[in-house]
C-alpha cells in the first residue's frame, strides 16, 4: 500500500475523499487501462465492496473525480479585461489536464453533464456572451476553443510526451537524410517547447476572437446610431 494512502487510512474510516485521492494515485501509476476497483481497494487496504458503498460503479467514481477537478475552478474577476479573463480560464483547464496526465484522456472526452460541470460550462459560455458575441457565435467559439484545448492537452499528456509510437523507427542519420524537414522542426516538438507552442496557438485564437468581437461591437454600435437617427 502506498505510504500516503496508508496514513490517510490510519486516521479513520474510509471516506469519499480518501477513495478519490487513492483513485488519482492508482490511475497515474497504472494508467486508465490498468485501473480497476480491485486495485483501488488493494491500495486502500479494504474490500472492493467498501468502495461500492460510496461509489456504486467505476463510472460514478470517475464522475466524482471530474467534479473534483472542475469544482474548485473560479471564474476570473469580471472587472478584468475580457481577453485576460478568457486566457485565464483556458490556462486553468490546461493545467488540470497536465497535472493528471493518465486521467486526461478520460477527462477530455467526458461530456460534463453533472450539475457541477454544467455550472462551470454555463459560466464559460457566459464569458463568451460577456464578450458581446451572439448566441450562435458564443457557442461556436466555445467549441472551437475546446477543440484546441483538447488536442493540445491530449498531445502533451499522451502524444509527443510519450515518445515514438511506431514499431519501426528511424535513426537520426536516416531522419536527416530522408526527412530533413522533420529533422529540422523536431527540435521544437519536445516537452520543453510545449508552453511556447501552446501560447502561440492561444494568442492566435484570442486575436481572432478579438477581431470578431470588435466587428460585432462595431456593428451593434452602428445599428444603434442608425436607430437614433430615425
Q: What structural domains and CATH numbers belong to the chain?
A: 3-56 (1.10.10), 69-229 (1.10.357.10)
Are 97 and 107 in contact by the 8 Å Cβ rule? The answer is yes
- pLDDT value at position 165? 78
pLDDT of residue 38: 96
Cα–Cα distance measured from residue 206 to residue 199, given in angstroms and rounded to the nearest whole number? 10
User: Are the CB atoms for 216 and 141 separated by under 8 Å?
Assistant: no
Of 143, 159, 150, 153, residue with least CA distance to 195: 153
Q: Which residue in this structure is represented by grid cell 477581431?
A: 211
Q: For the chain, which residues score pLDDT lower than 70?
A: 1-12, 161, 224-230
Q: What pLDDT, on a 0 to 100 scale, did the predictor assign at position 11? A: 47
pLDDT at 2: 58
Beta-carbon count within 10 A of 207 CB: 11
Say what the pLDDT of residue 62 is.
98
pLDDT at 230: 52
Amino acid at each position: 500500500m502506498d505510504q500516503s494512502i496508508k496514513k490517510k487510512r490510519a486516521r479513520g474510516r474510509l471516506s469519499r475523499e480518501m477513495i478519490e485521492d487513492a483513485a488519482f494515485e492508482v490511475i497515474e501509476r497504472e494508467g486508465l487501462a490498468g485501473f480497476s476497483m480491485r486495485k483501488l481497494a488493494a491500495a486502500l487496504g479494504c474490500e472492493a465492496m467498501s468502495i461500492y458503498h460510496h461509489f456504486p460503479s467505476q463510472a460514478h467514481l470517475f464522475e466524482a473525480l471530474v467534479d473534483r477537478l472542475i469544482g474548485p475552478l473560479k471564474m476570473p474577476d469580471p472587472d478584468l479585461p475580457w481577453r485576460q479573463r478568457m486566457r485565464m480560464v483556458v490556462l486553468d483547464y490546461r493545467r488540470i489536464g497536465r497535472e493528471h496526465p493518465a486521467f486526461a484522456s478520460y477527462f477530455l472526452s467526458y461530456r460534463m453533464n453533472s450539475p457541477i460541470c454544467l455550472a462551470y460550462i454555463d459560466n464559460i459560455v457566459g464569458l463568451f456572451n460577456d464578450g458581446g458575441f451572439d448566441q450562435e457565435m458564443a457557442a461556436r467559439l466555445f467549441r472551437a476553443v475546446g477543440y484546441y484545448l483538447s488536442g493540445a492537452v491530449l498531445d502533451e499528456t499522451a502524444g509527443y510526451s510519450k515518445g515514438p509510437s511506431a514499431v519501426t523507427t528511424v535513426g537520426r542519420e536516416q531522419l536527416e537524410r530522408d526527412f530533413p524537414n522533420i529533422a529540422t522542426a523536431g527540435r521544437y516538438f519536445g516537452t520543453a517547447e510545449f508552453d511556447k507552442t501552446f501560447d502561440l496557438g492561444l494568442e492566435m485564437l484570442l486575436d481572432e476572437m478579438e477581431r470578431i468581437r470588435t466587428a460585432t461591437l462595431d456593428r451593434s454600435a452602428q445599428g444603434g446610431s442608425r436607430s437614433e437617427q430615425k
